Structure 1
Amino acid sequence: MEIVRIASLEDPRLADYVGLTDVQLRMRTEPERGLYIAESQTVLSRALRAGHAPRSVLVSERWLPDVAAIAGDLDVPVFVGDEAQLQGITGFHLHRGALAAMQRPVLPEPRALLADARTVVVLDGLVDHTNVGAAFRSVAGLGADAVLVTSTCADPLYRRSVRVSMGTVLQVPWTRIPAWREAGAMLREAGFQTAALALADDAIDLADWRRERADRVAIVLGNEGHGLGPDALAAADVVVRIPMHHGVDSLNVAATSAVALWAVLHA
């Protein structure tokens, strides 16, 4: 690796790291520029194991030996600075030691991803990157096969999503899917029963559905505020709910993903 001591915060080679706290800017520019940010040595290590290619690394002086142990053989620049310099570039205190600008991988074709899967999760319209990352962690930890993401869902490779997922978003197979009219037909053709988690009058209890579910299932989770839209509900084969108590109507979407997957895969 090429060690580059930061001499100026205006160095154009640092452009990938500038203003990382500007969510709207990063949501637009990172996909356009074909990159995502891996935060922490743990996430960087998982990204490298997944075969993702770094463009560069940004690290504080005291964490350089740890980064060298992970990425020392890579032919990429490693920008090194003190904590004040790094905060001036990124907009936040880099207390996890390192950031890496990574090339975005090419997403698989949805039908290819479904071919060998039996349990998938569909994230439709989630806007909170924390929830997206937590859902991916549930998928990885509980053993689902893949995640499908609609066009209205927050970016799984946004920095906060990757960090909250503990890097599992880099390990779990996932891809974007088309609008529900096409996506619903695609799931049916692949032999999946589509189960929408929603508060509907005709929803059945999770435990009852689990006992009678199909062998291949797609669990659909919706927006944190208004849930699933009419197109998603129309595409579903069944609407499922988790029974609640004490006047609570539902769980956070990330918690819902964990409960539903536990019921399907382990109960």
Structure 2
Amino acid sequence: MRVITLQVNGLEQAVSKGLYTWLASADADVVAIQNIRAKEYQLSDAAVYPPGYNAYFFDADADDYSGVAILTREVPKAIMTGLSFLQCDLQGRYIQADFPHVSVGSIMFPPVDAFNSLEDKLAFQKQFLDHLQKNRRKRREFIICGNFEAAHKTIDLSNWQANQNTPGFLPEERAWFDQIFGPAGYTDAFREANFGENQFTWWPDAENARRNQNGWRKDYQICSPGVRQFVVDARIETSSLKFGDHAAVMVEYEFDDE
């Protein structure tokens, strides 16, 4: 199973720039997309019906803000939206497709912006961690993909010394990752197969920063314990940057029943 996660700056503009043509060449089985910036009914047919995929959407309550989608080649057993807390559900931040062997989720964490304070973001992190811990009691495995609006370790951003007091790399945010990849039992799937430096998915200053490698790895695929052994490849696809200011993360999972 090849899974891609990508945050776009609005799905409509990304499709107009060739997103679905690019996805066809990437040959992913599941694609998690964030920052749709439109309600489903506002999208064109070209955006709602990607060739070769079934598309599912979860809208934000506000217009032109947030929203997530998941594209699947195989029709899922079920689609779940939201995480049963208001900040997530009103802002359209989580959608999940359930398959026989695994559930795949698309998530977009809140940035510190006009809608969310730092305290709001930290509260979201806590409630999501609670959700992950509850998932461990279920008899299924999970892959959750998206923009986590934070970097975990010093290798995950280029200028970490200058960003220790910056939202996205605060001590409490890094400790939150430690909980996910520690006691909660989840794995950073990308780092299971790719240990390289300068593996970034977002740059504060677009083109100039990309040339100077002034980046952050904010986009993740995390997986539950039973999935870890099936991670066989992981890479960042910078060719996707024409669709937004985040690069796509592609991870290959080789399940026994494939």
TM-score in terms of structure 1 length = 0.28
Looking at secondary structure, tell me which structure has more strand per residue.
2
Looking at secondary structure, tell me which structure has more helix per residue.
1
